[in-house]
């Protein structure tokens, strides 16, 4: 993984995705039906696409000879792109009805690790015995620790940043999108640890 490319690509993708959702919601703010469609269908799909871009930057950790493009080639070769978007969308809907994990600090990492697991399964599990997608207890504890840290960091940052955005753009209610953007970035350690767990099985 080339950090010099991964960091700016991840940051710019998150900013663009969040900005697009914010712009669409702002333009449709007076049309209740359109706002509902944006909040429950279009923006979640945009968030999934952003999530996949972020995952593609982290996934090469599993194989140092691969690049983020190989992640997309794997999805294309297995005809899984549409399936993974649909599965992540449905997973997001289901998680919304489950206590605790419906919070973005848990929902986003679950969706990202799920997408990593799907691609890893297609690449390795079908041809190699003894591999598992279920992380060890130690890995799970690390993931929970990072999620908890992300929650407290985001709680502090999102309030300040959303106030700045609201003042700058003369709007209200940006805190949800700002929080999602911060969670998207802060879940990277979760993906790194899960990819590290998968990589350890290959060595």
User: pLDDT tens across 98-121, in order?
Assistant: 877 777 888 888 899 999 998 888
Residue 42 burial class via C-beta count within 10 angstroms: exposed 0-12, middle 13-18, buried 19 and up: middle
Question: pTM of the predicted model, to two decimals?
Answer: 0.86
What would the mean pLDDT of 127-147 be, rounded to a whole number? 87
> What does the angle CA 115 – CA 21 – CA 29 come to, to the nearest 5 degrees?
140
Q: Taking 70 as the threshold, does the pLDDT of residue 171 lie above it?
A: no
Q: Which residue has the higher pLDDT, 45 or 4?
A: 45
Length of the chain: 203
User: pLDDT tens across 21-60, in order?
Assistant: 888 988 888 888 998 998 889 999 999 999 999 999 999 8
Distances (CA, A) of 189 to 12, 30, 142, 160: 18, 39, 9, 23
The conformation of residue 59, written as its DSSP 8-state character, comes to G
Residue-level pLDDT at 196: 92
Considering Cα of 6, then 8, then 14, then 16, what sign does the dihedral take? Answer: negative
Residue-level pLDDT at 52: 93
3-state secondary structure of 64: coil
Residue-level pLDDT at 3: 62
Residue-level pLDDT at 67: 82
Give the pLDDT band (50/70/90) at residue 202.
confident
């Amino acid at each position: 993984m080339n950090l010099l490319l991964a960091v700016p690509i991840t940051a710019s993708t998150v900013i663009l995705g969040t900005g697009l959702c914010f712009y669409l919601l702002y333009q449709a703010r007076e049309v209740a039906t359109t706002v509902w469609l944006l909040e429950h269908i279009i923006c979640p799909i945009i968030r999934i696409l952003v999530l996949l871009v972020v995952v593609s930057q982290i996934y090469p950790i599993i194989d140092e000879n691969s690049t983020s493009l190989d992640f997309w080639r794997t999805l294309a070769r297995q005809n899984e792109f549409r399936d993974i978007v649909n599965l992540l969308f449905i997973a997001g809907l289901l998680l919304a009805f489950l206590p605790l994990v419906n919070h973005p600090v848990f929902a986003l990492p679950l969706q990202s690790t799920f997408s990593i697991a799907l691609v890893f399964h297609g690449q390795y599990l079908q041809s190699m015995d003894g591999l598992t997608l279920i992380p060890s207890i130690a890995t799970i504890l690390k993931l929970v620790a990072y999620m908890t840290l992300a929650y407290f960091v985001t709680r502090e940052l999102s309030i300040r940043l959303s106030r700045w955005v609201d003042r700058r753009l003369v709007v209200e209610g940006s805190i949800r999108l700002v929080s999602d953007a911060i969670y998207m970035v802060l879940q990277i350690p979760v993906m790194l640890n899960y990819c590290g767990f998968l990589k350890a099985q290959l060595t």
